Structure formats: C-alpha cells, structure tokens
Amino acid sequence: MSSETLTIEKLGLSGDGIARGPFGPVYVPFTLPGETAALAVNKNNGTVMSMSEISPERVEPKCRHFGPEGENGTCGGCSLQHASDTLYHDFKRQIVIDALKSKALSVEVAPLVIARPGERRRVVFTARRTEKELLLGFNTPESHHIVSISECPIASPGIVSQLATIRTVAEALAANAEPFRLTVLETLTGLDLAADGIKKLDDKQRRKTVETVLSVRGVARVSVNGEILVEPIKPLIDFGGVQVSPPPGGFTQATKTAEDVMADLVVRHVGKAKRIVDLFSGSGTFSMRLARIGRVHAVEGDDKALKALDNAARNTQGLKPVTIEKRDLFRRPLMTSELKVYDAIVFDPPRAGAEVQVKEIARSGVKKIVAVSCNPQTLVRDLRILVDAGYRLTSVTPIDQFLWSSHVEVVATLEK
C-alpha cells in the first residue's frame, strides 16, 4: 500500500478512472478524466482520499446509495452516476467504436440510443436475513456486503413502489442468513419474483411464502430455483403485440424501450424475407415480431423458453408459421447446409458470443444477417469472421439499457 497523487487520464471499460502510476495503470472507481486525487494505492487499485482537481463533467448523483458516501455503503448497482450525460453517452458509444477499431472494422457508429431513469423492468437484487431485518439491495463492488436500498432511480416505478412487498416476500423465503438472488421482472399482470440460491424449502416455509404472496397485491408469480411456488396470475410480457409468459427467471431484455429499438432495427433490416431463422431465440423477443413478416424457425437451448415461445405463437392470430428447435448452438451449431434455405439470419447470443455458429453462417451465403450482442468485444470478433467471408457491415447501433453502468448493447446489420 502506498500514497500517490495522480491524474485520471481516461475511463476504463468497467467505468473506473485510469491513472498512470509509478508501476503501471491504477484503476480508481468514481473518478473522471482530468481529475487529480490523493490515492491510497494497493497494487493497481486506487481509493480516493482527497480530490485537488474536479472535472467540470462531474454531477451530483441521482441516488442516495451511490458511491463511497452512499447510504448503507457503496451500492454496486451503478458505477457512473457522477458523470454528466454528455461524458457518459460519449463513453458508451466510444466502447463500441474502439471495439470495432480493434478488429479493423470500418463503419459509422450510430448515436447511442439512451436509457432514462425509471425504465428498468428487470432488476436482480441480493437478499439476506439478519437478526434485525431483511436486507434487500445490491452488493458493494467486489464484496459480500449488501447495501439495503430504499430507492432506485434506474428501476421502474412499478418495482420501486413495491419494494416493501418484495421485502415481505423475500423475508418469507429467507430461512437463514444465507444470501440469495431475487430477480424481479415487472410484467403486464404484476411482479414476477424468481429466487435463486436458496436451499430446499421445507413445508412450513412453502406455506408461509404462499400465504404471504396471497395476502399482498401486485405479485403475479414466485419461483424458487426455477420451480413455481405460487402463481396467482400468469405473468405476461408483450413482444410486439404478442403476449408471452416467460419461464421463471427466464431472460428478458432489461428495458422495454431498448427491446423495442432493437426489435425495430432487426425487423427493418430483415425487410420482406420469407424464411427467417432466429438463433438463441429465448422466449421470442424477435421471433414473435418477425413472424408478422415471414416464416420463422426459432432455435434455442433452453427448453422452458422455447415452450413459452411456442405456446405464444400457437395462441396468437395473424402470425406466419413459427417452428421451434431445442439445440445447444455452442456444441451443435446449425450447419451451413441447414442455413442456406433462409433469406435472413438473426442471432442474439449470450456474452460469450457465437464464434462456432458464426463460422457456419459465414459459409452459408444468406443475404441478410442481424447480430445482436450485449458484449462489444465478442461481437466484433464474430463480425470480423463475417466480413472476411464477404459480408458488408451496413450499420452498427449502440443501445443503452443498463443506465449508469459500463454495459452497452449493440445491433449490427450485414449484407452479402
């Protein structure tokens, strides 16, 4: 441990300020470029002790729980509330620009589609019972300490207004002091609460949780480790006019605003394609909308997500035929010969990207491709494969749906 006075030169990929220390880069949370601070330095991590130069781009945080001075500790839900909108938006767009440059990909990056407070319909809390209370909130970065929250400017009003109810349900689930994750999804019919990391509930706990849920308002479903415990009303989300009931804890886009923008970009690029394959389809975020254009084949490794998609498609009028296939696309990608029959391919993989699948896509010659990603680094690796195979990158759009974090979504379109 040493004391150093250093100037922040830039923001890193995680949103930390980066200064040049005597032995290499020093990463300093909650700082901005141009700021000079006295730091306690441990290896390559710095903690601010005092500031002598403050950036004009520094603003007052929107939440009482943010940063080192936060109430109940440093909440790990946000990392960039102290940055002005201009600096923050430029930072996110630059992440995508730099990623493309790293693979020598040349295309104009569209302006960032911005996120606004109160848009998050899906939030993942940590919960833990203590002798005094039930803690519900977010972990301090790189710590097991839970910052119990009383407000959350990123979350939708429908979630924030129900924090007391969410705590009551979490308390019924918490048999001991072990922490667990609680994913809260605001749906059209109420909150969908999915707990993970809880050891097996006994009969008494099950009864208590069911009674608790039935005694409160606004909760559509509660599940534990993927098992539905109680479902007063089926939770429903809207995918472009098609109502889908997602599986417990299933993946959905974090904000409807971002989802709608992504879907619009996908649909517009696909155009009038008659046969479309949607890879890593989930519960049908894009498939349901694409089925208004042409025949859709949805491929997904999660059986429950596929069943939700299939059920929605079967019970919605006005859609073109939708077929489904359960398949692990990492281990068994659709082969070039299987892909050739389609006019357009859409793929939206997890953070690891879709390298093995993309190599098959690259050889397929399918005219139109849309790549959707939550990880610009793996996306550009996959795009490079397609460009090297003769595809032209026609647009790249960065989309913010994780407000005041360093995460950015991207939609890229390609043509043969």
Per annotation, catalytic residue among 63, 78, 152, 374: 374
Alpha helix (H) residue ranges in 271-375: 287-290, 303-314, 336-339, 355-364
> Distance of CA 298 to CAs 104, 214, 239, 349, Å?
32, 36, 15, 13
Q: Distance (Å, rounded) from C-alpha 119 to C-alpha 96?
A: 22
Residue 186 assigned ligand-binding role: no
Q: Which residues have a Cβ under 8 Å from the Cβ of 111 and sit 6 or more positions away?
A: 93
Residue 300 assigned ligand-binding role: yes
Residue 23 assigned ligand-binding role: no
Residue 348 assigned ligand-binding role: yes
Q: Distance (Å, rounded) from C-alpha 304 to C-alpha 21?
A: 50
Q: Distance (Å, rounded) from C-alpha 398 to C-alpha 408?
A: 7
> Distance of CA 376 to CAs 136, 169, 238, 278, 405, Å?
31, 37, 27, 20, 14
The token pair at 156 is 């939708």
Please report where in the chains the tokens 């079967």 appear, as a residue. Answer: 314
Q: Distance (Å, rounded) from C-alpha 280 to C-alpha 294?
A: 18
Q: Distance (Å, rounded) from C-alpha 171 to C-alpha 186?
A: 20
Q: Is 63 a catalytic residue?
A: no
92 neighbors 112 (Cβ within 8 angstroms):
yes
Question: What residues are annotated to the active site?
Answer: 374
Q: What residues form the annotated binding site?
A: 253, 280, 300, 348
Q: What residues form the annotated binding site for S-adenosyl-L-methionine?
A: 253, 280, 300, 348
